[in-house]
Chains A and B, each alone.
Chain A
Amino acid sequence: MKIIDLALKDLLRSLRSMFLVGMSLLAPLLITALIFFAFGGLGSDEGSSDLPSVTVGIVNLDQPATGAAVAIGDSLYGMFTDPSVSSWITTVKYVDETTARAALDKQEVGALVIVPENFSAAILSGKAGQPIRLLQDPTLTISPMVIQNMITSFLDGITGGGVAIQVVMESQSARGLTLDASGITNLISRYQAWYTAFQRALFHDPQQAALNVRTPAAEASSESSGMQIFSMVMAGQMIFFAFYTGAYAMMSILTEQEEGTLARLFTTPTDRTQILAGKFLAVLLAVLIQGVVLLIAGRLAFNSYWGQPISMLMALLAQVVGATGLGVLLMSLVKTSKQAGPILGGGLSAVGMLSGLFTVAVPNMPVFMDTLALFTPQGWALRAWRLAINGSSASELLVPLAANLAIGLVMFAIGAALFRRRFA
């Protein structure tokens, strides 16, 4: 019972230590979040849109050109009301610019597209006219940029169509033929139909797009999909800080020695083995709680995938045992909390690098790095998480788990023996 009392006291102190909470929970989440946002949310599911929805206001003052059935402004309006973009674009039509600007000022719309009068006539005649204007809510960034790209792409298509019609007309003229108004209209209608289909395919069906850009990694296998890579990045951070937490939590025995409370504990009718066991239990619980919190936070905040439940638990166990064992061993080798600083800061970082914790997303790492990682508990923990995240079964995780159990227990035994000797 006293062992639990000792452990709970240490845990309570740890939770009240802003430094430890920051380093064990906030730091890994923060670093992961930075990576997440820097790469635009690697962990998002393919096919689902991450674009924020936007309301686009349109003032269409355009009229059909002479002989044409449809105004280009109407086609532009049609692009924004196409069913394929209805999940993230809502279109509101305004009859005049004043009303539309007022709506933009009130942030009722995020972007405002103004198609001037006689826009179609100007385009088809090849003469310069008033351009389409795009006004945007200054607080928005991504959505208006996408709207601008859509308009630019649309106008490129129209310009291309104009050139094509011009070429056709010149070709007909060279043969002594002339296209009448209905022929031109028919030609424009067919081009518009083709171009609408092309755009829809380009923006909304990448499989049918003319240009389909994919990374080699994505091509290789589902194992290294964005989500899995991102989960591995977070696993690397989680392991690094778990080992930091293990060592820092064990440092409490040095702190207590310096505060005088350890000596006072020894004057109570509490066996020294119980006191040490309480300390070890506190370290184990601290690392375990940290791991569980980060797994849940990673899932909720970044949609991280941790594998099948059994595999996830085995990987977590490998991490906890390794971090506890190394923490006990490291702190048994130093005499004061000041000496512990360089070990926590430099030593664990160096071992973390050798274990590959910071290079999980780097492809084609040298083979010797993999070999080096086999000599560290962090490396085996990373291996366990890699297997779990890749969907491996529990039996496949037995090797890294057994390796870390063995390493962790040996380190724990050595550390515990050194502590016992020191405080005998």
Chain B
Amino acid sequence: MTTSYAIEVKDLYKSFGDLQAVRGAQFQAHTGEVLSLLGPNGAGKSTAISILCGLLEPTRGDALIMGHSILSEPEAAKACLGYVPQDIALYPDLSAHENLVFWGKMYGLRGAALKQRVAEVLEIIGLSERQKDRIGKFSGGMKRRVNIGAALLHKPQVIIMDEPTVGIDPQSRRHILDAVKELNRQGMTVLYTTHYMEEAAELSDHIAIMDQGQVIAYGTHDELIRLVGEQTRIDLKINVESANVLPAWQKVEGVFTASAQDSLVTVLVDDSNRVLPRLFDAATQSGARILSVDIQEPDLEAVFLHLTGRALRD
């Protein structure tokens, strides 16, 4: 079956008791592109991709992977799919080579084809020299690489990566981001979930922003930024709890939205030059002192703030 979409999510719902984790999510990934699913923790990203990978059954709706329904053709859908879980999902007491051989077999590879592909993947992830070492002896970054390698063995058309850079050092993070670009360059469609807007901005052809189980915005990076219009984002650090000053700033003329976390307040304004003095005045009246000011061009953080009234990091 041929389709222009590698991934097509149609009106997806998933409930856990009274909790609706996914509520009518709908998005598509074109074949050969990187689609980032961006949203704060608890937005429903992991639940959505768990459904796509066949780990969870949707309460309602369906999704197609390379045209195969995850409900009616789960095996065919899975065969097109490589999944990189957020946490390391490897056997620590087996070597890198043994792990890859096993996962290759689970994707149906056998004999010479398996042997060759394992060698290729070890080259791709740069661990040929350490292939006989047990995973348990590897550093966190090396484990991440094998974790990705295990999803590449069967040359999947679609690869889903669930927040693969959470909790790792900058060097390993850079390696993973470069790997994603390389895989995409080789023709793989990548669905990349993250709550780091910089990663989404760097990697993606399209970005779907999720919040509270729904896709609240979808488009290219520039298209999403245009949603904010001419608004400017200002981050202000203050010397007191944000609750002291936030209500006052939300009433300042020229401020569209304001969101706070601890002592850091993010506001969207129409003209920073005009609004900033008013923010200082309001802070003084509230008994707060501004410690630092950071004026930023519109970005995905601003988009999220604009759409939800909350910061992405909340």
Contacts and interface: CB of A to CB of B under 8 A. Distances in A.
Interface of A: 1-2, 5, 9, 12-13, 16-17, 259-261, 263-271
B54 A266 contact: yes
B78 interface: yes
Given A9-B94, A17-B93, A261-B89, A267 B78 contact: yes
Given A9-B91, A13-B93, A260-B87, A267 B81 contact: yes
A263 B89 contact: yes
State the majority secondary structure of interface residues on A.
helix
A269 B103 CA distance: 11
A274 B250 CA distance: 58
B89 A12 contact: no
A154 B78 CA distance: 88
A2 B54 contact: no
Contacts of A5: 102, 105-106
B202 interface: no
Interface of B: 53-55, 75-76, 78-79, 81, 83, 85, 87-94, 98, 102-103, 105-108, 110, 150
Contacts of A259: 89, 91-92
B102 A9 contact: yes
5 contacts: A1-B110, A260-B88, A263-B89, A264-B85, A267-B81
A269 B54 CA distance: 10
Given A269-B75, A269-B76, 20 more contacts: A1-B105, A1-B110, A2-B106, A5-B102, A9-B94, A13-B93, A17-B93, A259-B89, A259-B91, A260-B87, A260-B88, A261-B89, A261-B90, A263-B89, A264-B83, A265-B106, A267-B54, A267-B78, A270-B106, A271-B75
Q: Which 10 A-B pairs have the closest CB atoms?
A: A260-B89, A264-B89, A268-B106, A267-B53, A267-B83, A269-B78, A269-B79, A5-B105, A269-B75, A16-B93
B78 A268 contact: yes
Contact of B98 (A1, A12, A260, A268): A12
A2 B102 CA distance: 10
Contacts of B78: 267-269
A271 B85 CA distance: 19
Nearest to A13: B93
A13 B91 contact: yes
A2 B53 CA distance: 19
B52 to A, nearest CB: 9
A307 to B, nearest CB: 37
B55 A263 contact: yes
Contacts of A2: 105-106
A107 B132 CA distance: 50
Contact of B107 (A13, A268, A271): A268
A417 to B, nearest CB: 19
A66 B94 CA distance: 85
A261 B81 CA distance: 16
Contacts of B79: 269
Contacts of A17: 93
A270 B103 CA distance: 11
A413 B42 CA distance: 38
B149 to A, nearest CB: 13
A168 to B, nearest CB: 83
B35 to A, nearest CB: 18
Contacts of B110: 1
A17 B76 CA distance: 36
A315 B272 CA distance: 85
Contacts of B88: 260
